[in-house]
Structure 1
Amino acid sequence: MKTLKYALRFLMRSKSYTVINLLGLAFSLACCIILMRYIHRELTVDTHCMDREHVYAICTNTEGSRGLSGLKQYNYDTISIDNRFVETMSTYIPLEKDYVISGDNRFPARCLVTDSAFFQLFHYPAVQGELSLSTPQSALLTEKYARKIFGRENPIGKVLRYSNGKDITIEGIVGEPECKTTINFDIILSSKLSQRWERMNTELYRFLPGTDINAINKAGSVPRYINDPKYDTRTHTFSLIPVKDIYWNGSLTDHEPAMFLSGNRSQLIILSGVCLLLLLTGVLNFINLYLVTLLRRGKEYGLKKVFGACGRTLFANIWIENTLLVLSALSAAWLIIEILSIPAEYVFGIHFSYTAFDGWLSIGILVLLPMITSIYPYIKYNYTSPILSIRSISGQSHSSHSRMFFLGTQYMITFLLVVLSLYFNRQLGMLLNTEPGFRTKNIMNVNLVYESKDFSSYTYESMQQRRQRVMQLDNELNTCPFIELYEPSYENILTPTFGTNYLNDKGEKVFLNIRYATPTFFKLYDIKVIEGEIPDMDKEDRRTVLVVNKAALKALGYTSIHGAGVIEENKKRANSGTSLQPIVAVVEDYFEGHLTAGVKPTIYSVGTRFSGDLYQIAYAPGKKKEMIDFLRNLEYKVYGSKDFEYTFLEDDVKAMYEQDRQTATVYSIFACIAIIVSSLGLLGISLFDIRQRYREIAIRKVNGACIKDLYRLLFRKYIIVLIIAFVIAIPLAYYLINTYTQNFAVKAPVSIDIFIISLLLVIVISLGTLAYQIQKAAHINPAKIIKTE
């Protein structure tokens, strides 16, 4: 109790240093806690799965195209997983663009078709009713979606009309798990509702303990035919991928971006590095300022050791003082976090709810941080002889060296963060301002066709009715004065494509991405034809011609389309006498995804009009509002509903760089925090150092030193420290930037100006904190100082 009393008294006596120390540590801890909460949320995705490390999905690879699928739909020359090893097996089908009808209103919905075994693998809280798919007509709604349809009414037992014309009954309301989830949906439907869905199943397995997963993957690595090789020589392999890894493999689920979330390990590593650097800056600042305050107690510790105080007592004093400081800083940090909760949620795009992790994190900081920050001061004073501790403070030059070392390390980290912040903002600017190579302005992606995803529900009459609705849409679109061009499809220009292997005239194998298009596609997106010609095709034209981009032409080993042709490898295997299909045109390269991924070698299978729910519409400039109103009225006329989904291509392109924007924002914010923390450290150290030099300054003034000489004298030491820190930070920053961007096809150059700007920015802000103190010291009264000293 007495030790605690002494610690409180000492901290109150050193009010200036204590306040500066608390502020620096509080800012650092607040930023680190926000980052660690985000990182923890990313690392615990899908923990609502009963055992995410041992529940597996099937990942198939068909001629180079990978995706989540199942084995049961492959009926020819395939391998089945032995049911004796399976504890639980479930299937699901994601239907991203579906809908339900309530009364006269249609509601777009993300539907997940599955079975009751799904809830043996994944736990969701039941808000109302039971989470069961006991009958084919059973349906479960998320809490948010139920509120959208029914408001505050009790939805249990309500009946909705599904897109296939069948009634479904709501038996339960699904709550949102505490963790982030890869699969996101509005409605869960029973797989028994239909026998033939639009998509194939994805299978999930939980195996009995002791099952040899490696043996199953080894068997799956042997290529097997999908269909009868007389007609289709394509082969596939498969592997088991645990649920915990699906989130980090966005290429497996990127065809349904509205239903599946994916993570970026590189970004998480970056944020972890920022968190570590900020924490290190805060800890170094804390230790440095605490050492300054301990210098004022050097005589006290020396006398205590002379009178027999042991190392344990000394450590207890230091540890209790540090614990009190850390506890105060941690409380202030959580207050800052609470104040900044809305901006933090905006930056990271998630809602930070309080969980048990927050409590354990706070306890960990409170236990570990005082211990870590007490080690160096304890070693410094416990193993220093009493006679050295009793000497005057000003004689401890080695203390000054250690302070400058800690300060220099802080500023090296600060320069590093500032340089990286400037670079990532430049990279983001380049990504947003670089044209992707196709038209993006005044183009809408609109879901206009809302038909059933249940293929078994179609009859001859319903198919005719569907055609009539689609024809009505087309006729109305053709008469709209605002529309320049449109094309229906199942994907837009940014949708990831699949691919397969092609052979050139030399029999060389090349993997090409495949995109199905019409001649309108190239006109709509203003994609230039640089060689050959894409023929115009009317509705009666049954031809399919091949067009490639420049990257594909180069990959195939051709320099011109004259005599150039390709054939799919599987077709050549099926019939060795099949001839090459000629390439009729070459189009300009464009980036169909993130610029850093580069241009993909793409082959276009160009034919007449394709069907699809997604309409890509180019409209006249300045007619955005008119287009939306026209399409809303059209949707009501054809389907009896004004609900339809649409995006603007320009916004979709920008959305691809959301993670880049987040990274640049995080670096900018936390680089500013690092500057603030380091400046606070500089302020605290300079308060002590300059005050210790008052007598020296007074003597210099008596001997004729002018104001500018004193400014140069007092600034010099700190400028040298900052320059050394900057010189060390340059190669570190260059190495980190190069390492992170080494696989980028497009990246901003690392130019010298970002280093110069960071140097000027940090020096101006940091040395600005010294201006008042140095001005005060330079204008002291020598007589008064020499008399009092």
Structure 2
Amino acid sequence: MIRHFFQIAWRNLLKRKFYSFINITGLAIGMTCCVLISLYIRNELSYDQYHVKKDRIYRVLQTFRSVQDGETLSSATPGDYQVWGCAPVGPALQADFPEVEKVVQFMSPVSLLLEKGEKRFQQDNLLCMDSTAFDVFSWKMLYGDPRTALTAPNSIVLTHTVAQKFFGNENPVGQMLRVDSQYSYMITGVMEDVPPNSQFTFNGLISMSTVRKYRAEMFDWWGYVDFYTYVLLKKNTSISSLDKQSSSFVKRRNSGDKGYAISFEKMTDAYLHSAAKRQPGPTGSLLNVYLFSCIAVFIMLIACINFMNLSTARSLERAKEIGVRKVLGVRPSSLMIQFLSESILLSLSAAVIALVLAQASIPMIGKLSGKDLSYTNFLTPLLPFYMTAFAVVVGLLAGIYPAWFLSGFRAISVLKGKFKPPVEGVSFRKVLVVFQFTLSVALIAATAIVYSQLKYVNRHDLGFQKDQMLVLNFEGDEKVQQNIEIIKKAIADQPGVVSVAASRAVPGEFLPNAGTQIQTPQGQMAEQAPFIYEIDFDFIPTYHIPVIAGRPYSRSYTTDSAQAMVINEAAARLYGYTRPADAVGKKFDQWGRSGTIIGVVKDFNFRSLHQAVEPLTLRYGYSYSLNRISVAIKGDNVPETLAGLRKTWSQIVPHRPFLYQFLDESFSAQYEADQHFGQLFTFFSCLAIFIACLGLFGLSTFMAQQRVKEIGIRKVLGSSVSGIVILLSKDFIKLILIGIIIAVPLCWWAMDKWLQGFAYRINVGPLVFIEAGLIAMSVALITIAWQSVKAAMGNPVQSLRNE
């Protein structure tokens, strides 16, 4: 019987090739989208899951809030904590809590000049890490002993990619690398590259004992922040014990800091579920995962709706077949099984096509999403089983209503020729069309909002000059620092150079916080922890940062380099000054330097537009604290200017490579994840709209065929082509208008949630929804009009002869 059902199903597919093509194409594209989106979501959910002991690894979150005398530390919110903290907390936790098996700490990434013979590379993302790293994390060592690799000072473990740059495929353990032209590090191991689905993004590990060798004292400072701390709990223990005792632990260990508190976070929650600041690596968006999950469901629903609409609309074609079968004794349940068999066969055919399309599309989706979506993650042994199950479920979902609808026809009415499709079937089809275009309009509007926000981000006035700004990276090289003014002058003398400045960091880069006391309007010294830029005399004028009160640093004042500070408007407000001019002349105390505030600059976006402008101090930086040289250049002959700078650099700094980046490009890199989201969102939205139009095309074609005689009679009676097209289109237009009305509030709500991730955002007005509605209406009308015009221009004689 089952074989008979599938034979009949196959014959029906071949008999109605056009509608079978539309159904299979819609289902195939829908399934392809679902497979690709599921692959993307699976990648997002897999971050840090490769660690064998992941369920026992927790991060220590720390907060350093300012609490004045007489105040108490209220309960902190998740957003108050940061992953970046002090060093003493790790050993103290291990000493005080028997539940802690291991503690591993690492510092902020550094960039070092590595040399071996003639090979020389400026290698970024190197971490100083404890020797317990390989006991806690599941990183595979290719060469060397993981138990001792990070024990001795001046030891370094390279990743496989970095090791290959210097040594090819040979084992380099025991060989020496020259570091920053003054130190020698021994290679004690080579490990596999860190998986791409990891919050850790380093290229090598340096033993923490190397840092202790030169700066042992900072490992005892609770106020010095530059460490990330992870703890591994013993088996059969719970983090709740540490959570409950965290307050008493802090009071016991760091009673002098009333604003200090700690918390714990599961390592596997770091990528998608963490609200903590100062993350050690990339973070994802749980909202994006939900959005793409919804898009996958929407696309599949749209494809299934197409199937339902076409199957129920073509009910008259199969009415007699159903009537004859019922007269011959076929039960309604058997008819339902037959129609479901047709649906499942269609779905299985679509699944085969979807597998081929998905495999071919993986590289493109990987590029759009910026993720490493490999074939190995796609081609699993269980893939055929999953796809078959998925196809059966889709077939049942798409076919259950048409099967119930068709099997319910009354045999007597059908065979007497008195059968008319039930009104509820027509109404249900209208509901499905409305649902389709509700989703389509919402997706069009959402895509427009996403791109408008990204355009706004790229064009927003940041408050400083980032165009035609070249940043030379010398990563704190002592020889460069000692001759910084000579090097700046040599660069400034080059044709095409407008001005030159030096600083510890540039806008868009990592900044430290600094415990800073500033005199309040009441005359008291209040301590806060604003961000800090260490800059030279030329930084503010080179970046064209407006000074709105007081003055910038100047060589004309001998005290500016030791007893002066410039702050931004946000910092002035933080210390109680509503008028920036009132902060000028007030006392400050910061990192061993005291003096007066000489100026206030206008707030500028030194970080991503995801965050509001935060309090900032611009401190004069001595040469030993500088890492970057900013060069403002003319835009008329950039290649020639770069060539001249490269030549000058090789003459005055021959021991370092000429490393540069354009500030606008590096600053825009902060929005790379947003750009990938926009591209991926647009791609799948377009496919969803295409599937909806595909179904509409099939439905309008069928409707035109059903009304061919009516069209012929109207033409004979003098109706124009335009009048007939309007007649055939107006029912669809009404449904699309209803879809637009429903889509607007739904889309506004969803995109308002997404826009909340930006401190600086566009205002979503009615225009974007009007445009989305017009686009959807235009696409739908074009889809319908092709068949409508074709039917309207047909020869009425031929249509009236048809019987």
TM range (shorter): 0.7 to 0.9
What is the DSSP-based 3-state SS (H/G/I as helix, E as strand, rest coil) of the residue aligned with 2:444? helix
Task: Give the counterpart letter for 2:371 in structure 1.
Answer: I
Counterparts of 1:427 and 1:693 in 2: how far apart (Å)?
46
1:322 is aligned to 2:337: no
Task: Give the counterpart letter for 1:243 in structure 2.
Answer: M
Counterparts of 1:88 and 1:233 in 2: how far apart (Å)?
26
Choose which of 402, 405, 412 in structure 1 pairs with 2:431. 405
Q: CA 1:68/1:769 → structure 2, altered by over 3 Å: closer, same or farther?
A: closer
Choose which of 10, 13, 22 in structure 1 pairs with 2:12. 10
After TM superposition, list the pairs within 5 Å mapping 1:348-747 onto structure 2: 348-355=369-376, 359=380, 360=383, 362-382=387-407, 385-387=410-412, 395-449=421-475, 451=477, 466=478, 468-480=479-491, 481-482=493-494, 483-497=497-511, 498=513, 504-506=520-522, 513-518=530-535, 519-537=537-555, 543-555=562-574, 556-562=576-582, 582-606=596-620, 611-622=625-636, 624-626=638-640, 628-629=642-643, 632-633=646-647, 636=650, 640-641=654-655, 643-742=657-756, 744-747=758-761
* Contact kept in structure 1, 2:299 and 2:688, CA below 8 Å: yes
Counterparts of 1:477 and 1:434 in 2: how far apart (Å)?
30
* Contact kept in structure 1, 2:468 and 2:635, CA below 8 Å: yes
What is the DSSP-based 3-state SS (H/G/I as helix, E as strand, rest coil) of the residue aligned with 1:600? coil
* Contact kept in structure 2, 1:407 and 1:681, CA below 8 Å: no
Counterparts of 1:39 and 1:713 in 2: how far apart (Å)?
45
Counterparts of 1:651 and 1:708 in 2: how far apart (Å)?
53
Counterparts of 1:637 and 1:73 in 2: how far apart (Å)?
45
Q: CA 1:499/1:27 → structure 2, altered by over 3 Å: closer, same or farther?
A: farther
TM-superposition CA deviations, 1:343-394 (whole Å, max 9, x none): 3222111232124566555355224222322332233345555456666775
Q: CA 1:324/1:651 → structure 2, altered by over 3 Å: closer, same or farther?
A: same
* Contact kept in structure 2, 1:544 and 1:607, CA below 8 Å: no
Counterparts of 1:631 and 1:698 in 2: how far apart (Å)?
78
1:122 is aligned to 2:137: yes
Task: Give the counterpart letter for 1:600 in structure 2.
Answer: E
Q: Which residue of 2 aligns with 1:462?
A: none
What is the DSSP-based 3-state SS (H/G/I as helix, E as strand, rest coil) of the residue aligned with 2:98? helix
Counterparts of 1:479 and 1:639 in 2: how far apart (Å)?
11
* Contact kept in structure 1, 2:588 and 2:595, CA below 8 Å: no
Counterparts of 1:591 and 1:335 in 2: how far apart (Å)?
46
Choose which of 766, 776, 779 in structure 2 pairs with 1:752. 766
- CA drift at 1:424: 1.6
1:343 is aligned to 2:364: yes
Counterparts of 2:723 and 2:470 in 1: how far apart (Å)?
67
Counterparts of 1:385 and 1:568 in 2: how far apart (Å)?
91
Choose which of 124, 127, 146 in structure 2 pairs with 1:112. 127
* Contact kept in structure 2, 1:59 and 1:241, CA below 8 Å: yes
- CA drift at 1:160: 3.0
What is the DSSP-based 3-state SS (H/G/I as helix, E as strand, rest coil) of the residue aligned with 1:592? coil
Task: Give the counterpart letter for 2:101 in structure 1.
Answer: E
- CA drift at 1:307: 4.1
Q: Which residue of 1 aligns with 2:222?
A: none
* Contact kept in structure 2, 1:437 and 1:589, CA below 8 Å: yes
Q: CA 1:651/1:40 → structure 2, altered by over 3 Å: closer, same or farther?
A: same
What is the DSSP-based 3-state SS (H/G/I as helix, E as strand, rest coil) of the residue aligned with 2:626? coil
Q: Which residue of 1 aligns with 2:334?
A: 313
1:148 is aligned to 2:165: yes
What is the DSSP-based 3-state SS (H/G/I as helix, E as strand, rest coil) of the residue aligned with 1:84? coil
- CA drift at 1:606: 4.3
Task: Give the counterpart letter for 2:563 in structure 1.
Answer: T
* Contact kept in structure 2, 1:182 and 1:261, CA below 8 Å: yes
> Which shows bigger deviation, 30-39 or 743-752?
743-752
TM-superposition CA deviations, 1:484-542 (whole Å, max 9, x none): 44444332222354365867234697956232344432112111111222342477765
1:300 is aligned to 2:321: yes
TM-superposition CA deviations, 1:434-471 (whole Å, max 9, x none): 210101122222221465xxxxxxxxxxxxxx4x5532
- CA drift at 1:97: 0.9
- CA drift at 1:68: 2.9
Q: CA 1:526/1:323 → structure 2, altered by over 3 Å: closer, same or farther?
A: same
- CA drift at 1:89: 3.1
Q: CA 1:486/1:342 → structure 2, altered by over 3 Å: closer, same or farther?
A: same
1:41 is aligned to 2:67: no
Give me the TM-score of the superposition, normalised by structure 2.
0.84
- CA drift at 1:418: 0.7
Q: CA 1:170/1:623 → structure 2, altered by over 3 Å: closer, same or farther?
A: farther
Q: CA 1:170/1:547 → structure 2, altered by over 3 Å: closer, same or farther?
A: closer
What is the DSSP-based 3-state SS (H/G/I as helix, E as strand, rest coil) of the residue aligned with 2:48? coil
Q: CA 1:182/1:553 → structure 2, altered by over 3 Å: closer, same or farther?
A: same
TM-superposition CA deviations, 1:543-579 (whole Å, max 9, x none): 33233323333442432534767778999xx9xxx9x
What is the DSSP-based 3-state SS (H/G/I as helix, E as strand, rest coil) of the residue aligned with 1:527? coil
- CA drift at 1:56: 0.8
* Contact kept in structure 1, 2:608 and 2:670, CA below 8 Å: yes
Give me the TM-score of the superposition, normalised by structure 1.
0.86
- CA drift at 1:684: 0.9
> Which shows bigger deviation, 598-607 or 494-503?
494-503
* Contact kept in structure 2, 1:326 and 1:370, CA below 8 Å: yes
Counterparts of 2:505 and 2:590 in 1: how far apart (Å)?
25
Q: Which residue of 1 aligns with 2:25?
A: 23
1:181 is aligned to 2:198: yes
Q: CA 1:207/1:607 → structure 2, altered by over 3 Å: closer, same or farther?
A: closer
Q: CA 1:521/1:11 → structure 2, altered by over 3 Å: closer, same or farther?
A: same
Counterparts of 2:273 and 2:589 in 1: how far apart (Å)?
27
What is the DSSP-based 3-state SS (H/G/I as helix, E as strand, rest coil) of the residue aligned with 1:48? coil
- CA drift at 1:412: 1.2
- CA drift at 1:477: 2.5
Counterparts of 1:226 and 1:496 in 2: how far apart (Å)?
32
Q: CA 1:171/1:510 → structure 2, altered by over 3 Å: closer, same or farther?
A: closer
* Contact kept in structure 1, 2:155 and 2:185, CA below 8 Å: no
Counterparts of 2:330 and 2:148 in 1: how far apart (Å)?
72
Q: Which residue of 2 aligns with 1:265?
A: 286
Q: CA 1:67/1:725 → structure 2, altered by over 3 Å: closer, same or farther?
A: closer
Q: Which residue of 1 aligns with 2:260?
A: 236
Task: Give the counterpart letter for 1:297 in structure 2.
Answer: R
What is the DSSP-based 3-state SS (H/G/I as helix, E as strand, rest coil) of the residue aligned with 1:144? helix
Counterparts of 2:289 and 2:232 in 1: how far apart (Å)?
28
Counterparts of 2:515 and 2:300 in 1: how far apart (Å)?
48
User: CA-atom RMSD, angstroms?
Assistant: 3.7
Q: Which residue of 2 aligns with 1:84?
A: 98
- CA drift at 1:594: 2.4
Name the structure, 1 or 2, with higher relative contact order (CA <8 Å, separation 6+).
Answer: 1
Counterparts of 1:141 and 1:394 in 2: how far apart (Å)?
76
**Structure 2 portions without partners, runs of 5+:** 67-79, 216-224
> Which shows bigger deviation, 654-663 or 354-363?
354-363
Q: CA 1:184/1:521 → structure 2, altered by over 3 Å: closer, same or farther?
A: same
Counterparts of 1:75 and 1:725 in 2: how far apart (Å)?
57
Q: CA 1:479/1:192 → structure 2, altered by over 3 Å: closer, same or farther?
A: closer
* Count of residues in Structure 1 that have an aligned counterpart in Structure 2: 761
Q: CA 1:289/1:96 → structure 2, altered by over 3 Å: closer, same or farther?
A: farther
* Contact kept in structure 1, 2:370 and 2:673, CA below 8 Å: no
